[in-house]
Structure 1
Amino acid sequence: MRVGVVGAYSTKYELRSEKEAWELLKEAVQGTLSSVDKGISGEDIDFVIVSNFSDRFGGILHTAPYVVSLVGRSSAKGLRVENACASGGTALYVAWNLVRSGLARNVLVVGYEKMSHQPTSAEINEVLMAAGHPDEIVVGAPFVSLYALIAKAYMDKYGVTEEDLALVAVKNHENGLRNPLAAMRRKITIEDVMRSPYVSWPLKLYDSSLITDGAAGFIISSEPKKYTDTPVYIEGVGLAHDTPGVFERPDITELRAIRLASEEAFRISNLSIKDVDVLEVHDAFTISELIAYEMLGLAGRGEGAKILREGITLFTGEKPVNPSGGLKSKGHPIGATGVGMVAELFWQLRGEAGDRQVKDAEKGLMENHGGTGGTVVVAVFAR
């Protein structure tokens, strides 16, 4: 059975939305249902999955029955998925397996987060730290500091510079200029990144993704051609874990679970990284995108910055990465992030991405990870 994505939607991501969390969720549900080419009725949806990291980002819980009521089919089943920043990718993994197993025919997945619900950065950081290892939480280590440890070790091992990290931010902001859904459509230079204040050395403000409000959704089906003549097929999905604590890993310069999840997705799909035309990867911090290149097989170890400097991952390059702008420019409303990646690849592979359309894109890959790579989902799509 080839399971296909038949519709997708995303709100505009914003640094501070005037809408409440339930309003963002409602917009995503209604927009996703309306996005299906041949139409789909709420009666056709037999399962809903809601991706959301924390009720402290929006103030609502028990959202599955709310979404079921919006869909309008009282017999539909539903649940909420939480897996830190990989919640959206995990929702895809669950939905895909529900359909493959025959437990559902059509599954609606929606993800949301209203991070501005918390009034200060300190309170936002307190919520985020709950996704760390208990020993890291106890010592008060925020994720930016954990990624800074990874970045410093990587720079020492491979001779990579802060300017190399800055190139990731510059690229993704350039891509975000083409995306009307992006939260920060602002061109930046290497000098801008280098002048931005350190958040946790060697990572600066412009090395970091955005605190964002937003929601997104998609529908997958066991009968995709019933709902659209141009479905995007889910060829393989992999999910893998690493030790949640950075301090437990033998080599913190690799995010091992990305490699493991991609190997699973490629094995199921009978594809390889050579077949992929466009990628959306989890650039929570600039260092994580460079390491993702290597774990996915785009580059050898320590060569992530090299292929970026060579232009391979630019919008016009051989393997464009994050044409949406990524988490760095588009934004990172946690529960919606992985869901929005699916939506972006759905549009890319159908030729509907507007000014950010990657030419002749036939196959796409998403990499969505939680924590410092403690959970990773990689999925491969084809038109």
Structure 2
Amino acid sequence: MTRIDSASATPAGAPGRNVAIAGAAMTPFGPREASLLELLAEAGTDCLADAPIGTDEVDHLFVARSGGAYEGQSGLAAALAGELGIRPAHAVAIEQTSSSGAAAVYEAWKAIASGTCEVALAVGGERMTHLSTATATDIVSGITHPAEYRHGITIPSFAGLTARRYLERYDAPRTALAKVAVKNHAHGVANPKAHFRREIDVETVLDSPVVADPLRLYDFCPISDGSAALLLVAESALDGGEHVHVDGIAGATGTHVVHERDDLTAMSAVVDAGRRVYDRAGRTPDDIDALEVHDMFTILELLQLEGLGVADRGESWRLVERNATERGGELPVNTSGGLKSKGHPIAASGVAQLVELYDQLIGRAGDRQVDADVGMACNVGGFGNCAIATILSAP
């Protein structure tokens, strides 16, 4: 393996070092028999094998877990360090609900950019399919405010309320939401790691059972098992090997109590995270060639397109209607299949979004490859309670 040139590295403590991603991997998403630790080790091992970096050079490990107790194990970060053979690396678990994956990447980025370390591994994963849908939904909905939870409010019900408000307020056709699902399933067919690899049509979406009116079964992502990993390195210390540049990463929180928000159809955390990352990266929405968003529900894809400035308020559905977000469109969105088709092992999703962008930017996305030099991901926690946005570029 090619080793980093420590002599060329910026001295520890120097601020603002450029950060690169030099390796990426994910497991197949879907029902798995492996334990959570085994899933994390699978992605981590494949990621280290993908990178031009020696295992002994990893000095920080950040493990994302959602805190949802889908499969409980304490000391998970230290256990994974042992499984991967990267002792004595500093190892810590990161929790930020469904944005935990991007949060782990953010911590890895900060550790390198600040000069605290040279090489950091970020791994996120979840094992969920052994639970019933009702149990998993109840755990996910634990993020809601106690006052809302006591009244039976769940994250899916918030999605239904928001979708109804959006469709009525902006005179958007119900088919626009269905086309989000159709498009992401079509993209997922080309992803060998996706949970669902089959195409659907608008009629299938609209005829599926109602879950939270007007949203139906095919407007929701599946419950999945899986893991994803990224290796981040100080760019100045990287000697050879494929890599992409981390232009910027930024996070923000929104109003936790959803019923206290000024507007259900606006996700302030996404707006703020987007503004911050554009500023940090020196980019604008016009620079983005490929976008991965957190489409846990179809309505979330529309809201994030608007929150990130890709579309004006109330106008993102028009992009979907004219096929602009398809793989061959003006701005391909969720070429991985998104959470909708790829799957959503909660803490893995934010990492997996960046795995997809890494593959796109180095040109190894296979049948789902698009022409992209700059990619952006948005990982959302809860129902817009928080968000982390990341911009990557080809070197």
What is the TM-score normalised by the length of structure 2?
A: 0.93
Give the aligned residue type for 1:25: L
Confirm or deny: 8 A CA contact 1:232 1:349 kept in the other structure: yes
Distance in 2, matches of 1:147 and 1:186, equals 24
Offset of 1:55 from its aligned partner? 5.8
**1:109–1:158 distance in 2 versus 1, CA, 3 Å:** same
Choose which of 139, 149, 155 in structure 2 pairs with 1:127.
139
Confirm or deny: 8 A CA contact 1:55 1:61 kept in the other structure: no
Residue 33 of structure 2 corresponds to 18
Higher deviation after alignment, 196-205 or 16-25: 16-25
Offset of 1:29 from its aligned partner? 1.5
Choose which of 217, 226, 235 in structure 2 pairs with 1:214.
226
Give the aligned residue type for 2:170: Y
Per-residue CA deviation, residues 217-236 of structure 1 (Å, 9 max, x unaligned), is 01000146635433111111
Higher deviation after alignment, 67-76 or 137-146: 67-76
RMSD of equivalent CA atoms: 1.2
Confirm or deny: 8 A CA contact 2:68 2:140 kept in the other structure: no
Which aligned segments of 4 or more residues in structure 1 are displaced greater than 6 angstroms?
A: none
Distance in 1, matches of 2:321 and 2:173, equals 12
Offset of 1:291 from its aligned partner? 1.0
Residue 365 of structure 1 corresponds to 376
Distance in 1, matches of 2:89 and 2:206, equals 51
Per-residue CA deviation, residues 123-177 of structure 1 (Å, 9 max, x unaligned), is 1122111122222222221111011111111112101132111010000001001
Distance in 2, matches of 1:241 and 1:356, equals 32
Query: Is residue 287 of structure 1 aligned with residue 299 of structure 2?
Result: yes
Query: Is residue 187 of structure 1 aligned with residue 199 of structure 2?
Result: yes
- Structure 1's unaligned 5+ residue stretches are none
Distance in 2, matches of 1:50 and 1:310, equals 40
**1:224–1:206 distance in 2 versus 1, CA, 3 Å:** farther
Higher deviation after alignment, 365-374 or 40-49: 40-49
Confirm or deny: 8 A CA contact 2:187 2:337 kept in the other structure: yes
Per-residue CA deviation, residues 164-223 of structure 1 (Å, 9 max, x unaligned), is 110100000010011101000110000000000000101100000110000010100014
Distance in 2, matches of 1:44 and 1:70, equals 16
Distance in 1, matches of 2:239 and 2:191, equals 27
Query: Is residue 273 of structure 1 aligned with residue 285 of structure 2?
Result: yes
**1:73–1:188 distance in 2 versus 1, CA, 3 Å:** closer
Give the aligned residue type for 1:17: R
Q: How does 1:316-331 map to 2 (within 5 A)?
A: 316-331=328-343
Distance in 1, matches of 2:216 and 2:68, equals 28
Offset of 1:54 from its aligned partner? 3.2
Query: Is residue 3 of structure 1 aligned with residue 15 of structure 2?
Result: no
Distance in 1, matches of 2:168 and 2:73, equals 44
Per-residue CA deviation, residues 103-138 of structure 1 (Å, 9 max, x unaligned), is 1111000001001132x1121122111122222222
SS of match in other structure, 2:274? helix
Give the aligned residue type for 1:311: N
Distance in 2, matches of 1:229 and 1:73, equals 21
Residue 245 of structure 1 corresponds to 257
Choose which of 234, 244, 251 in structure 1 pairs with 2:246.
234
Give the aligned residue type for 1:375: C
Query: Is residue 254 of structure 1 aligned with residue 266 of structure 2?
Result: yes
Q: What is the count of residue pairs matched by the alignment?
A: 378
Query: Is residue 382 of structure 1 aligned with residue 388 of structure 2?
Result: no
SS of match in other structure, 2:103? helix
Choose which of 150, 154, 157 in structure 1 pairs with 2:162.
150
Residue 30 of structure 1 corresponds to 45
Choose which of 103, 107, 116 in structure 2 pairs with 1:94.
107
Offset of 1:376 from its aligned partner? 0.2
Choose which of 85, 107, 111 in structure 1 pairs with 2:120.
107
Offset of 1:59 from its aligned partner? 2.8
SS of match in other structure, 1:174? helix
Give the aligned residue type for 2:348: A
**1:302–1:345 distance in 2 versus 1, CA, 3 Å:** same
Distance in 1, matches of 2:236 and 2:194, equals 29
Identity of aligned residues (%): 37
Confirm or deny: 8 A CA contact 1:365 1:378 kept in the other structure: yes
Confirm or deny: 8 A CA contact 2:196 2:343 kept in the other structure: yes
